[in-house]
Amino acid sequence: MDPANGNKVSIAFESAHGARPVDLPVGDLRVRSYWQSVWQRVLRDPVTLACALILIAMIAAVVLAPWLGLPDPYQSDSSDRLLPVGSPGHPLGTDELGRDMLSRLIYGGRLSLAMGIIPVVNALLIGGALGVIAGFVGGRLNMLIMRVTDVFYAFPSILLAVAIAGSLGAGVTNTLLAITIVFIPPLTRVTESVTTQIRAMDFVEAARASGASTFAIIRTHILGNVLGPVFVYATVLVSVSIVIAAGLSFLGLGASPPEAEWGLMLNTLRQSIYLAPLISLLPGCMIFVVSMCFNLISDGLRSAMDVRF
């Protein structure tokens, strides 16, 4: 570093005319960490940013719903049944009982988003722990955990969720439990696969040779490399969870009337599809938009995490 240049470093570049010194700030020479690179690539992805902004706006709306001055989502008015979109006082019209659709869609987003996120978080904690244990320990324990996991793959996710929810009975709590059970096996398998790959790498063997404890190796070396790909996969499962929860409510196995939930709203509005087709499609549009946003965010994260140094 040249003291005369201050906080700069002089580097000589070879050119046709010989070595030519160029002064660059020291900050430009620092090596960015992996997650800094991922974050910067995400910020340069307009699709991922747009989807993230849509979800943030939607989450803010459902959280701040009581302070938005919306009509009561449960107050019916038989004289205002199936008002079209753009009606005075009802921008998105009313449903078959005269309830404001905008209000019910926003309040319904509370339950629908919760039924999409909570099961994935629970399954991530349980399945992630099982996958890390199975992948790191290996042997008979790995075989036991993974063979039990394989049993659940004999059934499609939606059919397994219907079977579990049907046996437990209708209700939001039972729906959350059913979806959680459905998502534990795939998250266990993904986590186990990544952990098995990381366990065989040189830096893990070096940590063992240095005398690091098993807990320290898992906390420092395994989890730091496993959480990224597992989180990307879990983001996809959120969209699947929203669709499954809506399907269970549509079949009468999830939320019960008069609860505002997108799948249940589809069920109650299906009889009015010929009278007010646009209003009947609004809950389905919300499910589609949210699911696509989570899918596109997952794709953006996957691309951003594919960093090569």
Which CATH number covers residue 157?
1.10.3720.10
CA distance 215 to 193: 19
In a domain, 15, yes or no: no
Is 28 a domain residue? no
The band of 202, judged by pLDDT with boundaries at 50, 70 and 90, is confident
In one-letter notation, the amino acid at residue 279 is I
Degrees, nearest 5: CA angle 280-286-287: 100
User: Does the predicted TM-score (pTM) go above 0.75?
Assistant: yes
Domain that holds residue 95: 54-305
Give percent above pLDDT 70 in the chain: 88
- In a domain, residue 39? The reply is no
User: Which alpha helices (DSSP H) does 67-138 contain, by range?
Assistant: 101-137
* Rounded mean pLDDT, 28-54: 77
Q: How large a percentage of the chain has pLDDT more than 90?
A: 45
Which range, 49-63, 83-97, 140-154, has the best average confidence (pLDDT)? 49-63
**Is the pLDDT assigned to residue 34 strictly greater than 50?**
yes
Say what the pLDDT of residue 307 is.
Answer: 57
Total count of domains within the chain: 1
Q: How high does pLDDT run on average in the chain?
A: 84
Assess if residue 204 is contained within a domain: yes
Distance CA 121, CA 163 (A): 22
CB 254 within 8 A of CB 111: no
Please tell me the distance from the alpha carbon of residue 143 to that of residue 146, in angstroms, as a whole number: 5
User: For position 257, what pLDDT does the model report?
Assistant: 86
Range with the poorest average pLDDT among 42-51, 55-64, 207-216, 255-264: 207-216
Domain assignment present for 30: no
Q: Is residue 178 part of a domain?
A: yes
Strand partners, 184: none
Which residue matches tokens 């038989």? 78
Q: Is there a domain that residue 7 lies in?
A: no
In single-letter form, the type of residue at position 48 comes to: T
Res 308: pLDDT = 53
Residue 18, pLDDT above cutoff 70: no
Residue 248 lies in a domain: yes
